[in-house]
Amino acid sequence: MSWTYRLKPELFDLNHTLDCGQVFRWVRDGDWWTGVVGDQVIRLSQDHGQLIVDSKLQPEFLTRYFRLDDNMPSIYESINRDLLIDRAIRKYRGLRLIRQDPWECLISYMLSTASNIPTIQKRICLLSRFFGQELEPGYFSFPDPETLANVDPAELDKCKLGFRTQNIIAAAEEVASGELDLDVLFRLEYRYARERLMRLRGIGEKVADCVLLFAFDKMEAFPVDTHIKQIIQHYHIDDSYFETCTNMSCMGEWGRDYFGHYCGYAQEYLYYQKRMEGFVSLY
């Protein structure tokens, strides 16, 4: 049975954190957000900074899930390198990265290729409805690796995954068999963890970086998608770094070098600002 309690996190904005595009299973209705995390349905709201929680989960879980242990003033100081990121920090202050479940995050971002956020959300919803367990009316857990490894590909067609179907099954087979041990990725250095993920069919640098940033605590991951590429080309293309390096891979290296260890935070703030406002004026 769920219970209601309050948390008083510092420098945390629930709306920015859940709306910024890093996670796909939260839905907002008025002042409340409802999401499925693991095998639990959670309802959250924020009132004058206080986080109102309706859930069976203990406060310690949400502290870890929302990275409330991150030292945001120190992170802001570390990544605040120019007027563009300074503006994003001031406007979207309190946005925190989320520690997502590694398996669900892996599949979610494999489903994200060549797609917008509503489409990704629909695919995950269908996948959970058809192959997960019902937790409450209308809310389902994410299917486990064993279930997806043994599913009939024709059954997955109901989830409208398109060309991603075989890639999802192949990834599930590797995880279910133990060939890919997700726990090992936590212990690997960033570059080796990314190389391992990219051995999965259908995973390139951007998807690997998203998974490592949002599920494996690799703060040095700097995913480069169309928004980030456009930001770099619009605001930073005069940087001498790009005289000989213009592809997305090099842009990721630039982000790590420019913003430092917490470049993943910088990426999410810039991405959200671009998605919400387009190109912004700095003067």
| Residue 174 sits in the same domain as residue 125 | yes
List pLDDT tens digits, range 118-127: 999 999 999 9
Summarize the confidence of residues 65-78 as an average pLDDT.
Answer: 98
Q: At 172, is the pLDDT very low, low, confident or very high (cuts 50, 70, 90)?
A: very high
Q: Write the DSSP assignment of 35-85 as a string of letters.
A: EEETTEEEEEEEETTEEEEEESS-HHHHHHHTTTTS-HHHHHHHH--SHHH
Q: Are both 206 and 141 inside the same structural domain?
A: yes
Structural domain ending residue among the three candidates 215, 242, 271: 215
Average pLDDT over residues 245-264: 91
pLDDT beyond 70 at 1: no
Q: Which of 13-17, 107-111, 140-144, 235-239 has the lowest mean pLDDT?
A: 235-239
pLDDT at 117 exceeding the cut of 70: yes
Q: Are 106 and 40 in the same domain? A: no
Do 115 and 197 lie in a common domain?
yes
Whether the per-residue pLDDT at 249 is higher than 90: the answer is no
The mean per-residue pLDDT over the stretch 56-73 comes to: 97
Listed in sequence order, the residues at least 6 apart from 19 whose beta carbon sits closer than 8 Å to its beta carbon are 28, 272
Is 154 contained in some domain? yes
Residue 162 inside a domain? The answer is yes
Q: Measured between alpha carbons, how far is residue 190 from residues 184, 193, 195, 222, 248 in Å?
A: 12, 5, 9, 11, 18
Examine the pLDDT at 154 and tell me if it is beyond 70.
yes
Q: Is residue 188 one of the residues assigned to a domain?
A: yes
pLDDT of residue 215: 98
Whether 139 and 200 map to the same domain: the answer is yes
76 within a domain of the structure (yes/no) = no
69 in a structural domain: no
State whether 211 and 106 are in the same domain.
yes
Helix (H, G, I), strand (E, B) or coil at 186: helix
Are 118 and 204 contained in the same domain?
Answer: yes
Q: Where are the alpha helices (DSSP H) in the chain?
A: 14-19, 59-65, 72-79, 83-91, 102-110, 117-131, 145-149, 153-156, 165-177, 182-187, 190-197, 205-215, 226-231, 248-259, 263-277
With a cut of 90, say whether residue 276 has pLDDT above it.
yes
The pLDDT value recorded for residue 242 is 77
CATH code: domain of residue 139: 1.10.340.30
Q: Which domain holds residue 42?
A: 1-63
Residues 175 and 116 in one domain: yes
Structural domain contains residue 1: yes
Residues 16-28, mean pLDDT to the nearest whole number: 98
pLDDT tens, residue by residue, 197-234:
999 999 999 999 999 999 999 999 999 999 999 999 89
% of the chain exceeding 90 in pLDDT? 91
Q: Which range is least confidently modeled, 50-64, 163-177, 209-223, 228-242?
A: 228-242
What separation, in Å, do the N-terminal and C-terminal C-alpha atoms of the chain show? 52
pLDDT greater than 80 at residue 245: no
Q: What is the mean pLDDT of residues 62-69?
A: 97
Average pLDDT, the chain: 95
Q: What are phi and psi of 98, to 5 degrees?
A: -110, 140
Q: Tell me, yes or no, whether 230 lies in a domain.
A: no
How large is the average pLDDT for residues 39-55? 97
Q: Which of 59-63, 177-181, 240-244, 266-270 has the lowest mean pLDDT?
A: 240-244
Tokens representing residue 230 in the block:
């456009």
- Higher pLDDT: 115 or 268? It is 268
Token digits of residue 167: 């890639």
Instruction: Retrieve residue 217's tokens.
Output: 């605590």
Domain boundary among 173, 200, 215: 215
* pLDDT band at residue 114 using 50, 70 and 90 as cut-offs: confident
Structural domain count of the chain: 2
**CATH no. for residue 48?**
3.30.310.40
Last residue in a domain, options 159, 191, 215: 215
Domain co-membership, 116 together with 170 = yes
Does a structural domain hold residue 265? no
Q: Model-level pTM?
A: 0.95
